[in-house]
Amino acid sequence: MDTSRYADLFLTESRENLSAINHALLGLERDSGGGEHVDALFRAVHTVKGMSATMGYARVAELSHELETLLERVRGGAVSVSPALMDALFAAADALERLISDVVAGQGEGEDVSALVARLHDAANDAAPVTLAALPTAAAAPVAGGWTAAEPTGTGFLVRVRLAPETPLRGVRAFMVLQKLKSLGDVVAVSPSAEALQTDTFGLDFAVRLSGKTDAEAIERAVRAAGDIDAVLVAAPDAPRPAAPVPVPHMADEVPLPAQRSVRIDLRRLDSLMNLIGELVITRGRLAQLSTGLGDPALDETVQQASRLITDLQDEIMTSRMVPVWQVFDRFPRLVRDAARSLGKEVEFSVEGKDIELDRSMLDEIGDPLVHLLRNAIDHGIELPAVREAAGKPRAGRLSLSATRDRSAVLIRVRDDGRGIDRAKVLSKAIATGAVDASRTELTDDELVRLISRAGFSTADRVSDISGRGVGIDAVQSRVRALGGSIDIRSTPGEGTSVTLRLPLTLAIVRALLARVGEETYALAMTHVSETVELTAASRRSVRGREVLVLRDEVLPLYRLRDIVRMAPPPREGGEADLVEALAQVVVLEVGERRAGLVVDELTGQQDIVVKQFDAVRDGLNVFSGATILGDGAPALIVDVSSLL
């Protein structure tokens, strides 16, 4: 059997099991008497061992086997859960992750794990026995309905096997069962065929004819040892055979075959589909614009129908790319635990909104920014236990990571109850580096955010493995802005800091408001557009020499897109400039809690735009996040709203 084609599936399944291993380890460390954590850990390690053995990854199987043996002793109460044991288990989990990545990438057998295996033995031998809570054992589920696989021809034991409904890599699991049975005798026949088992084109059960000097009990033990087995039925060679083949249930039968409701798709195919639908959206806009001037009712109806179908197709493709944020969030509890231990701090970490969905490409991009934010919160925000106690706080700091939906955006927030941002220290550092004037005595909230977001800016007194090199908020802001999002920071001295990332649901296609200045058209993401109003003399004011907009008793700073893009004002001849000013529109923008008005010459409508990334011109304006193609084939720049506010 060629196992190389299963490498990608093996890697995917292994990552899920590694995530389960880390979560179980964190739970076991938090509650050393929790048998359910040991049970979950054992199951995940056992699955990795079985899959790696089948794939021929010897060192992965060896380390998994040693872990499984140790965990079996923990389950039985022969080994206690001690700090030394936990450190060894965490180290083994890390090594297991590295080994799997190396062997799947074709880098030989991976690192030598003999020293780590010895460490596991030492940790087990040094730990004193303790009795854990009794672990429930799952009884074999009763077999509902008849067996679906036809009885194979030949003589010998008839062995029927049903896999668990959620079994990953069913073909690999069936292969493992056959290998177990071959150790007991000769496999005479298999139903369905071995080829069908390898390609996963069978239901959940299959049948085997096994000849050899063995017994039914040994056969059942061997089959169940392969893992993910729901039921086993062994008929001795002299047992009476049924008069007719076992019928395959039909849809009307009491227990139909479970339908396969999902398939695995290479992300490159989804990316290709997104690129194609993007081009189709551009073509839809062009087609709609061309048909408008022809006045052909039949053509207009056909274009409208095609537009609806393209919109439905766009929605389906974008939905297929949406994945829950837990796929990234699940690796952070371990990161927080390790960072807190290295700094001698106690941290209670919570995660909320794990089911909120983002585009897969967006999800891949936010991992590193969140790592920066969590590490900064642990290092700069949360105090040492003794310091917290002296301030009347609990010894353990609270750190939370949450995701929520807000209209067409997702808000991801990192919040801690630490010391907050030391404004005086930031001001002192800013004065020392020449970032602000030496005469300044305080900073506004906006100035504070801009300073700590400067590249290389850091208030850390020392450089550690966690932070202190000036790489943190600036890296987060750069990445988030590149994604078309924004960042908002709120900090209260002594109470903590909250950092909120506002992200669009997808990077590829967004709804935008089109605005014209002079002869140029620009796009503004609707995520940041609150409303539009006319610019009138009554609504325009000047405060301390700065133009503002008075909107329903709210005073907003007023920017002019013409000035931002450095476009020359219209000529004064014939009153053209006055006419442009009289017809001007204001787009009210909002990023987090910040709002402002943007003056444009004209609003030309809304449309779905396909975001095209581009390399900015050297010394060019840093106010654009991308470009798009409009319905008439003309390009338009996408304004980075977060850079304006």
**Confidence band of 281 (pLDDT split at 50, 70, 90):** confident
The larger pLDDT score, comparing residue 341 to residue 4, is at 341
- Which domain-ending residue is among 111, 126, 141? 126
**Cβ(71)–Cβ(28) under 8 Å?**
no
Compute the average pLDDT of residues 468-494: 74
| 46 a catalytic residue | yes
Q: How many domains does the chain fold into? A: 5
pLDDT band at 461 (very low <50, low <70, confident <90, very high): low
Which of these three, 504, 532, 553, is where a domain ends?
504
The model's confidence at residue 615, banded by pLDDT at 50, 70 and 90, is low
Which among 29, 62, 376, 528 is annotated as catalytic?
A: 376
* Domain end point (choices 293, 320, 347): 320
Residue tagged active-site, from 16, 36, 68, 151: 68
H-run or E-run covering 52? helix 35-55
Residues 328, 477 within the same domain: yes
Token duo for residue 354: 């794990």
In a domain, 44, yes or no: yes
Q: What is the DSSP string of 278-304?
A: HHHHHHHHHHHHHHHTT--HHHHHHHH
Closest residue by Cα to residue 232 from 157, 171, 168: 157
When pLDDT is averaged across residues 204-231 and rounded to a whole number, the result is 86
Q: Based on the domain organization, do 486 and 533 belong to the same domain? A: no
Strand order in the sheet with 554-560: 529-534, 585-591, 594-600, 554-560, 546-551, 540-543
Instruction: Specify the length of the chain in residues.
Output: 645
- In this prediction, what percent of the chain has a pLDDT beyond 90? 14
Would residue 567 count as lying in a domain? yes
The answer to whether the beta carbons of residues 121 and 85 sit under 8 Å apart is no
Res 117 pLDDT > 70:
yes
Alpha carbon distance, N-terminus to C-terminus of the chain: 60
CATH number for position 541? 2.40.50.180
Convert 129-163 to b/e letters by CB count within 10 Å (16 or more is b).
eeebeeeeeeeeeeeeeebbbebbeeebbbbbbbb
Q: pLDDT higher for 140 or 447?
A: 447
Predicted pLDDT of residue 5:
67
Same domain, 349 and 422: yes
Alpha carbon distance 497, 151 (integer Å): 66
Q: Is residue 41 within 8 Å of 28, Cβ to Cβ?
A: yes
Q: For the chain, give percent helix, strand, coil, nearest 5.
A: 40, 25, 35
Instruction: Identify whether residues 114 and 205 lie together within a single domain.
Output: no
- Whether residues 408 and 432 fall in one domain: yes
Q: Are 504 and 409 in contact (CB under 8 A)?
A: yes
Compute the distance between CA of residue 137 and CA of residue 42 in angstroms, rounded to an integer.
13
- Highest-confidence range of 27-36, 108-117, 248-257, 285-294, by mean pLDDT? 285-294
Does the structure show a pLDDT above 70 at 301?
yes
Report the range of poorest mean pLDDT among 213-217, 244-248, 469-473, 570-574: 244-248
Higher pLDDT, 415 or 244: 415
Residue 465 near residue 342 (C-beta atoms within 8 A): yes
**Predicted local distance difference test score (pLDDT) of residue 386:** 93
The confidence band for 305, taking pLDDT boundaries of 50, 70 and 90, is very high
The enclosing domain of 99 has a CATH number of 1.20.120.160
Do 354 and 496 lie in a common domain?
yes
User: Quick check: helix, strand or coil at residue 103?
Assistant: helix
Question: Is 171 a residue whose pLDDT tops 60?
Answer: yes
* pLDDT greater at residue 129 or residue 560: 560
How does DSSP classify residue 612? B
| Mean predicted confidence (pLDDT) in 282-307 | 87
Catalytic residue among 46, 372, 380, 528: 46
Q: Tell me which of 178-182, 211-215, 312-316, 433-437 is least confident.
A: 433-437
- The answer to whether the Cα torsion of 545, 547, 553, 556 is positive or negative is negative
- Domain containing residue 179: 157-235
What letter represents residue 436's amino acid? Answer: V
Residues 353 and 359: their CA atoms lie apart, in Å, by 16
- Does 571 reside within a domain? yes
* DSSP output for 401-427: EEEEEETTEEEEEEEE-SS---HHHHH
pTM greater than 0.85: no
Count CB-CB contacts under 10 A for residue 200: 14
Q: Dihedral sign for Cα 452, 458, 461, 462, please.
A: positive
Together in a domain, 624 and 545: yes
Averaged pLDDT for residues 328-355: 91
Helix (H) or strand (E) holding 564: helix 561-564
Task: Report CA Rg, the chain.
Answer: 32
- Looking at the DSSP bridge assignments, the partners of residue 400 are 350, 415
Predicted confidence at residue 469, as pLDDT, reads 37
Question: The CATH number of the domain where 273 resides is what?
Answer: 1.10.287
**332 within some domain:** yes
Give me the pLDDT at residue 460, please. 60
Answer yes or no: do 296 and 422 share one domain.
no
Assess whether 409 and 434 both reside in one domain: yes
- pLDDT above 50 (res 248): no
Q: Could you tell me if residue 340 is inside a domain? A: yes
Q: What are 287's two structure tokens? A: 């087609």
Most confident of 39-43, 71-75, 479-483: 39-43
State how beta strands 554-560 and 594-600 pair. parallel
Whether residue 468 has pLDDT greater than 60 = no
- Rounded to an integer, the average pLDDT of 176-198 is 84
Report pLDDT for 628.
86
Phi-psi region of 633 (alpha: psi -120 to 50; beta: other; left: phi over 0): left
Is 372 an active-site residue?
Answer: no
CATH number at 431 reads 3.30.565.10
Do 380 and 299 share a domain, yes or no?
no
User: Is the separation of the CB atoms in 209 and 158 below 8 Å?
Assistant: yes
Q: Is position 622 annotated as part of the catalytic site?
A: no
300 with 388, same domain: the answer is no
* 122 inside domain: yes
Residues 215 and 291 in one domain: no
Q: Which residues 6+ apart lie within 8 Å of 381 measured at CB?
A: 397, 399, 416, 418, 419, 420, 496, 497
Q: Could you give the CA distance from residue 591 to residue 290 in angstroms, rounded to a whole number?
A: 36
- Within-domain flag for 229: yes
For 610, the enclosing helix (H) or strand (E) is strand 602-610
Whether the Cβ atoms of residue 554 and residue 533 lie closer than 8 Å to each other: no
60, two tokens? 């992965």
The long-range contacts involving 252-257, CB below 8 angstroms and separated by at least 24 positions, are: 253/145, 254/144, 254/145, 255/144, 255/145, 257/148, 257/203, 257/204
pLDDT confidence band for 34 (50 / 70 / 90):
low
Pair 84, 127: CB distance under 8 Å: yes
Give 467's pLDDT tier (boundaries 50, 70, 90).
low
Average pLDDT value for the chain: 79
For residue 613, being part of any structural domain is answered with yes
- Residues 573-607 have pLDDT tens digits of 555 555 556 678 899 998 777 889 999 988 988 88
